[in-house]
Amino acid sequence: MITTTQVQKKGNQFPNEIVDFKQERDRLYFTTKNGVILELTVLRDSVIRFRYATEYVFEPDFSYAISDDVSLGFNSLEVEDGKLEYLITTSKLRIYINKGNLKVKITDLEGTIINEDETGFHWEENFDYGGNIVKMSKVTQSAESYYGMGDKASHTNLKGKRANNWVTDQYAFGKDQEPLYKAIPFYVGLHNDLAYGIFFDNSFSTYFDFAHERRNVTSFWADGGEMNYYFFFGPKMSQVVEAYTNLTGVPELPPLWALGFHQSKWSYFPEKKVKQIANTFRKLKIPCDAIYLDIDYMDGFRCFTWDNRRFPDPKRMVKELEEIGFKTITMIDPGIKIDRDYWVYQEAMENDYFCKRADGPHFKGKVWPGECKFPDFTNPAVREWWADLYKEMIADVGVHGVWNDMNEPAIMDVPSKTANLDVRHDYDGHRCSHRKAHNVYGMQMVRATFEGLKKYTFPKRPFVLTRAAYSGTQRYCATWTGDNVATWEHLWIANVQAQRMCMSGYSFIGSDIGGFAEQPNGELFARWIQLGIFHPFCRVHSSGDHGDQEPWSFGKEITDIVRKFIELRYELLPYIYTMFYKYVNDGLPMLKSLVFYDQEDSQTHFRTDEFIFGDQILVCPVQEPNAQGRRMYIPRGKWYNYWTDEVVEGGDEKWVAAGIDKIPIFVKEGAIVPKYPVQQYVGEKELTELKLDVYYKDGTENSMVYEDQHEGYDYKKGRFSLRKFRLRGKPKELIVQQFKDGSYITPYNKLRLQFHGLPFTIKKIELDNEKVDLKSVKLNGNNNIEISKDFTELHLFGA
Give the C-alpha separation, 372 to 390, whole Å: 20
The greatest distance separating any two alpha carbons of the chain, rounded to the nearest whole angstrom, comes to 99
β-bridge pairing 261-263 and 162-165: unpaired
Give the C-alpha separation, 564 to 561, whole Å: 5
Contact (CB, 8 A) for 608 and 625 = no
Asked whether position 400 contacts ligand MIG by CB under 6 A, the answer is: no
Shortest distance (Å) from residue 486 CB to ligand MIG: 14
SS3 207: strand
Task: Read off the DSSP letter of residue 66.
Answer: S
Asked whether position 294 contacts ligand MIG by CB under 6 A, the answer is: yes
Burial of 479 (0-12, 13-18, 19+ CB in 10 A): buried
Asked whether position 514 contacts ligand MIG by CB under 6 A, the answer is: no
Indicate if 169 belongs to the active site.
no
Asked whether position 483 contacts ligand MIG by CB under 6 A, the answer is: yes
Our CB check for ligand MIG shows the closer of 224 and 482 to be 482
The one catalytic residue among 144, 223, 408, 512: 408
Burial of 626 (0-12, 13-18, 19+ CB in 10 A): exposed
How many residues form the binding site for ligand MIG (CB under 6 A)? 10
Asked whether position 375 contacts ligand MIG by CB under 6 A, the answer is: no
β-bridge pairing 784-787 and 750-756: antiparallel
Task: Read off the DSSP letter of residue 363.
Answer: P
Shortest distance (Å) from residue 410 CB to ligand MIG: 7
CA distances from 332 to 85, 212, 224, 270, 309 (A): 54, 40, 31, 18, 19
Our CB check for ligand MIG shows the closer of 266 and 611 to be 266
Q: 415: cis peptide before it, omega within 30°?
A: no
Give the C-alpha separation, 491 to 487, whole Å: 7
Shortest distance (Å) from residue 403 CB to ligand MIG: 8
Which of 744, 706, 698, 710 is CA-nearest to residue 725? 706
Give the C-alpha separation, 83 to 285, whole Å: 75
Task: Read off the DSSP letter of residue 394.
Answer: I
Shortest distance (Å) from residue 182 CB to ligand MIG: 13
Choosing from 295, 411, 663, 665, the residue that interacts with ligand MIG (CB under 6 A) is 295
Shortest distance (Å) from residue 169 CB to ligand MIG: 7
Our CB check for ligand MIG shows the closer of 266 and 525 to be 266
Burial of 361 (0-12, 13-18, 19+ CB in 10 A): exposed
Shortest-Cβ-distance residue relative to ligand MIG: 266
End-to-end CA distance of the chain: 96
Our CB check for ligand MIG shows the closer of 148 and 335 to be 335
Indicate if 408 belongs to the active site.
yes
Contact (CB, 8 A) for 146 and 189 = yes
Choosing from 436, 539, 541, 723, the residue that interacts with ligand MIG (CB under 6 A) is 541
Asked whether position 108 contacts ligand MIG by CB under 6 A, the answer is: no
Residue 733 CB coordination number (10 Å): 13
Our CB check for ligand MIG shows the closer of 156 and 497 to be 497
Shortest distance (Å) from residue 580 CB to ligand MIG: 24
Shortest distance (Å) from residue 467 CB to ligand MIG: 6
Contact (CB, 8 A) for 742 and 704 = no
Our CB check for ligand MIG shows the closer of 97 and 258 to be 258
CA distances from 741 to 676, 723, 724 (A): 20, 7, 8
Choosing from 461, 467, 527, 563, the residue that interacts with ligand MIG (CB under 6 A) is 467
Our CB check for ligand MIG shows the closer of 365 and 574 to be 365
Give the C-alpha separation, 762 to 783, whole Å: 8
Our CB check for ligand MIG shows the closer of 297 and 640 to be 297
Indicate if 117 belongs to the active site.
no
Choosing from 226, 242, 405, 615, the residue that interacts with ligand MIG (CB under 6 A) is 405
Concatenated DSSP letters for 405-442? -STTT--BTSTTSS--TT-EE-TTTS-EEHHHHHHHHH
Q: Which residues contact 716 (CB under 8 A, 6 or more apart)?
A: none
- Give the residues across from 649 on adjacent strands: 638
The one catalytic residue among 117, 294, 483, 523: 483
Our CB check for ligand MIG shows the closer of 141 and 542 to be 542
Choosing from 482, 515, 551, 650, the residue that interacts with ligand MIG (CB under 6 A) is 482
Asked whether position 598 contacts ligand MIG by CB under 6 A, the answer is: no
Burial of 33 (0-12, 13-18, 19+ CB in 10 A): exposed
Asked whether position 266 contacts ligand MIG by CB under 6 A, the answer is: yes
The one catalytic residue among 223, 405, 550, 701: 405
Shortest distance (Å) from residue 638 CB to ligand MIG: 42
Shortest distance (Å) from residue 512 CB to ligand MIG: 7
Our CB check for ligand MIG shows the closer of 228 and 484 to be 484
Pattern 327-356, binding to ligand MIG, x per CB under 6 A?
Answer: ----x-------------------------
Our CB check for ligand MIG shows the closer of 295 and 397 to be 295
Q: Which residues contact 199 (CB under 8 A, 6 or more apart)?
A: 65, 185, 186, 229, 230, 232, 244, 247, 248, 471
Shortest distance (Å) from residue 469 CB to ligand MIG: 13
Residue 724 CB coordination number (10 Å): 15
Shortest distance (Å) from residue 533 CB to ligand MIG: 20
Task: Read off the DSSP letter of residue 200.
Answer: E
Supply the residues annotated as catalytic: 405, 408, 483
Residues of this chain that bind ligand MIG (CB under 6 A): 266, 294-295, 331, 405-406, 467, 482-483, 541
